[in-house]
Structure formats: structure tokens, C-alpha cells
A and B are shown apart, each in its own frame.
Chain A
Amino acid sequence: MDLSCTPEEEEFRARLRDWLGKVLPTLPAQPSPDDWPGRRAYDLGWQRMLYDAGYADVHWDASPTRRLIYLEETEKAGAPYVGANFVGLLHAGPTIAAEGSAEQRARWLPPILRGEQVWCQGFSEPDAGSDLASLRTRARRDGDVYVVTGSKIWTSHAEVADWCELLVRTDPDAPRHRGITWLALPMDAEGVTVRPLRTLAGSAEFAEVFLDEVRVPVANRVGEENDGWRVTMVTLSFERGTAFVGEVVACRRVLTGLARTARDNGRWDDPALRRRLGRLDAEFRALWRLTQWNVSAAEESGGVPGVGGSVFKLRYSHARQELYDTAAEVLGPDCLDLDRPWVLDRLSSLSYTIAAGTSQIQRTIVAERILGLPRGR
């Protein structure tokens, strides 16, 4: 077991820290959470700066240790989060890198890295959430295009996305998991309608997407026709395995802020609250170690993260909610004031045990795929 970094990695850290120190003061102010076009421009702009400085691909191509160093240093420095680039950088891009043809990699990966494209994820449908394989959006083959009709829901960032990783049913007669195909859908194609959905946090974080006879070239298919379920598993393993990693570092910073606030407002004298904060510190320390462990395991087995991601996702999503519930205790009555820090975060944390596979679904995955328990019905 080795938690230390090589001299080259330490040099990478020093160089990155130095660069962050120079560029962060030059960044414009963050747009408001409701200003989606503003957020898109801001997040793409940040990605472009990373690209120009040679850090664009740090989420995929770099050594796992460098990726973790990047996350630690950017978080410590208060650098912007991936934001609207979440899907492109953290799971669509890696899926195309792992499963796409050379042509597809050349077509989509550079613009994602240069901060020119926002991607979204069109997996869920109104009647296909946890039971994703029951999706019904239909794609009929017509020569060298697929004609797609159906609808998607809870599609994060759809309003400002250029591309969508889209799951469609290409063979309605095949067994459920066998008739699915993974397509890259251009969001400006004719027949695509996006209707923003308001979340409980008040913002239009996600949307409904309606697809009416949308023509998608066969060349946009990643993987074989009807082999989309396998490709989807690759996407989900990135989504659960590595996509939330950066946030763990952020949570520990929030925790420090909470402790200081509690000390200043007198709540610190309550031993139960103090211990709750201490307990959360243990939790987030361990989650960071779990990340290092999973990343090392993925490296050992050749790249794609394994089901260990479900262990992480399960534990992390609950810890994050506990963190912001504790924040509410520290804030007292201010926890009901939307203008206070952490109050919006508390609301958005409510989605973590649902999005990217609910806790119940993750537990079933752990039980059946890690522990080998017999399949339930």
C-alpha cells in the first residue's frame, strides 16, 4: 500500500498549484444558478482555459494519481467545478473513448476537451427510471439513418446541450436488454423539443426531451446495433465510479466551514452536534480513501471502474445528505432562509440518493454482483 506520490507527480501538483494561483483571480464572477446560458458559457470557458494550459484531459487520459491530484488541488484552490461539462467529461467522453471507433473518438473527444460541446444524458423515460431496460423511445432504421420517436425525462443540462447520449429501442421484439442501442443525438436536430422542468430547489436543472421523427445518422451509433445495454453499463460505471469523486474534497471544505460557524454562533457547545461533525469528518476521510482504493483497483484491472463504484455512490450520497442536514442544525432558524449558504445545497443534496441509480438499486447491485446473492424477482 502506497499513498505517496512520485517526484513527477509532485512536480505536476506544484505546476498546477502555481497555474491555479495565477488564473483563478482573473476569472469572471460565477453566473447565478438560474442563468443556464451564463453557466454554459462560464463552464465551457473554464474548460477552454484548462485545455490551453494542457490540463483538459486530466479526467481521462492522465494517470489516476494525477487525476486525484487535480481534484485535490482545484478544490483546495476553489477552482470552478465541471458543471455543465459533467456528462461530456465524466461519462459520455470516457464511454466514447472506451467504446467508440477511431473516427468517433476523433470527431467528439477533441471538442469536448476544448470546451466546445456540452453533452447531456438521455437515458431515463417517464416509465423507465430504475427499470431502465424498459425504455420505449423507438428508433426505426431508414437506410443510413435512425428515425427516433419518444421522450426522455430528468435530462440534466438538456436546455444548453449540443449533444445527447441517447438510449433507444431498435428491436422491440428482442428480450428487453437486447434491443437497445446507444446513439449520439445532436440536440439541434429537427424534431427535438426541450421543455425545462423545475426542480424542488427552484431551478430548471433538468428537462423533458421530446423526440418526434428525429433523423440520426447511423454513423452516430456507439457500439453495435442492439448492443447498447452493454455500452450503457460502461457509461454507468463511469457515472457511479468516478464522476462524484471531486465533490468529496468539496464536502470536507464545507465541513470545516460548518465547524467554524458553529464555533462562532455558540452551537459548538452542544456535544452532540460537535460529535456529529467529527463523525462526518471520519466519513469524508474514508470516502476519499475509498476513491483512492477504487481508482487503484481500476488501474490494476485496466481502466473501466468496477462495481466498487456502487459502494462509493451508496455511501457518498447518504453522507452528503447528512452533511447538509447537519448544516441546518448549525444554522438554526437560518436554515430556512434561501439566501443563506448551504440551504440550496441542502435542497440539491436530496437528489443524490436518486440520480445515477437510487440507493435501493445500488444495494441490489452490491448484493447480486459483488456478494453473489441469488437474483431477486
Chain B
Amino acid sequence: MADHASNGHQSNGTGGFTASGLRLKVGLAEMLKGGVIMDVIDADQAVIAEQAGAVAVMALERVPAQIRAQGGVARMSHPNMIKEVMAVVTIPVMAKARIGHFVEAQVLQELGVDFIDESEVLTPADEVHHINKHDFTTPFVCGAKNLGEALRRIAEGAAMIRTKGEPGTGDVIHAVRHMRQIVSEIKALTVLDPQELYAAAKNLQAPLELVQMVAKAGKLPVPNFSAGGIATPADAAMVRQLGAETVFVGSGIFMSDSTTKLEVGSFKPGDTFRHTDLIDGEPVAAERLGQKVDLAHFGKYRNPADRAEAESRAKAIVRAATFFDDPKIVAQCSADCMGAMKGLAVANIPAEEMMQNRGW
């Protein structure tokens, strides 16, 4: 870890607040383009995600749908869980810090995660300030509902933007709304006179330099991904066609409707079996309770039908996100996908329970 700090400082000067530091951060985001980033709650789900072709995993204790159902304060994940996930996959590992919680972010950087998500899915820690992300060598991704919000996050040092959607619902409507909003606001800037950009910056509440940059390039200065409510291959292909460069999926992969309860990922290395658990589809005999789960046997100790369903869905969504503009392949992916998570229509969620309205 001491090595990390010295290396970081050698190349980045003070934290990431240099052109080269930013280039390294945005560089990793470039490497993640055209793929799917999956929420995982343990090492086994991370293995399923990697095998399905995910470009990165987001390690968190509860997926958004669980957070939504269970309520309470949602915080940064336990470091041990994050370390386990980092140990079993070779793809980049991301983890979430609460909005404004710079100490959680310091902890995640110390753990060596590859990307920090300053996320509205967790309970915000500061009602005014977001994290000054220039202070870190680890790159950050932040959510945004519109262009002004995206540019404010970029000004604070975010190396990647993801549209917010409404996480944990399996309802894609707000991911679509926010992607359309940002894309159309960008388009609108490109037809303005240079003189008009000052007023545009004021209206967007974003720095003039960034507004000028977007007007000229016709795109954000960092990669723009999509997240929130994406649950099917067709959802993933749709947000890609609308302009998302990569797709974040959470609850859609590892949860199911009420008739099939997915238990994938119910074990962690070092866990002990519970009496309800299955080994190769058979209930665990009493004398085997307490046996340690060995990493080498990952995947053997669970209901094969559940695991197959999770694997089929993960693979189908990854493939649909890559071949998003080929209806024949997206149709095939949709057919390959066994079941879908139970949806929760965003229209039925009271405004105060919306996660997307956290952050500003």
C-alpha cells in the first residue's frame, strides 16, 4: 500500500489534480467502453459476472433492490467483502462511497479498488457537498440526471458519468429519461453561438470551460454510461442505442420474480453452511453444517437451477449490450434469458423514496 501512494504521487503530483492524473482516470473508463458493469454482493457473483463477460464489477453488500426493500442506512461495503471480490476476479473492481463521504472514499482508495462510485444508491452523508474527487488518485464515477449535474460532477473530478435511472426497480423509464435529457442538452449546446454559451453555463450551473468543451465536441469530456433499472437484454441495448457507452446493471441479474428465488451468491469464502443451503441441488446434511467454503469449489454449492438462471441472464445482457444495434442478436439474447427480475414501476414510488433525487 505504501507503494501505491508513492507511485501515485510520482505520476500524479498532488492526488489526481493534474492533466496526467485525469488522463489515467479517464483512460480506465475508456477501457470499460462497450461492456456491462455488474453489481455483485460476494465473490461468487463476481466470478459469474466475469465468466459472463462483464468488464468490471461493483462490489456492494446489498444490491439496490435489496436496499430499497430493506431500507435503513446504506453505507460503504465491508472491506473484507471488497477484498474477496478483488482476489477472485482479474477485471476491475469498483465500490460505492456515500455522496460527500470523503472518508469512505479514502478507505476505498486505500483498499486499492479500481473505481469509486459516489453513489445515490447509498444514503448520502452530506446534504451540500460532493467529494472533491481531484484529491484522489483512484478515478470516480458519479450519477447525473441532466447535463448541468454531469458537468458539476466532472468539475469536481469525476472521470466517468452514469445516468441515474431509478435503481433497484427493474423499470428502465428513468434511465431512458435521463439519457435522452443529457443527449438532447448536449445537442442543444452544439448549435449555440460562442456568445450564447455564457448564459448557457449560467442556466446549467456548470463551469463555462466545460460548457464550451461540450459545445465544441458534441459530447461529454468523459465517458457517459447508463445505470438504473436496466433488467433485460433489450433494456441494455436500448440505452446503448440512446447513447450510453457502457451499461451498469444491478438487481436485474441476480434477482428473480417471486416464483423463483435466486440464491446465487449465498456463500462467501469462509462462510459456514446453513441448514437451508443446497449442495449440487441437494439439501446439506446436518453433519456437514459448519464446513468451510473453499474458493476452489466455488459454484458447486448451490442450487444449479438458480445459478444457471443467473448465468444465462448475465451472459445475455452482456451480449445484447455489445451487439446493441443488431436486432437479430438482441432477439436471440432475449430468448436465451431465463426469466427476469420482478419489476417495481417507478410511477408507484413516492417522490421521497426516489434514489435518483439524491445528489444535485
Query: Bound pair: A and B?
Result: no
**Which B residues contact A (CB, under 8 angstroms)?**
none
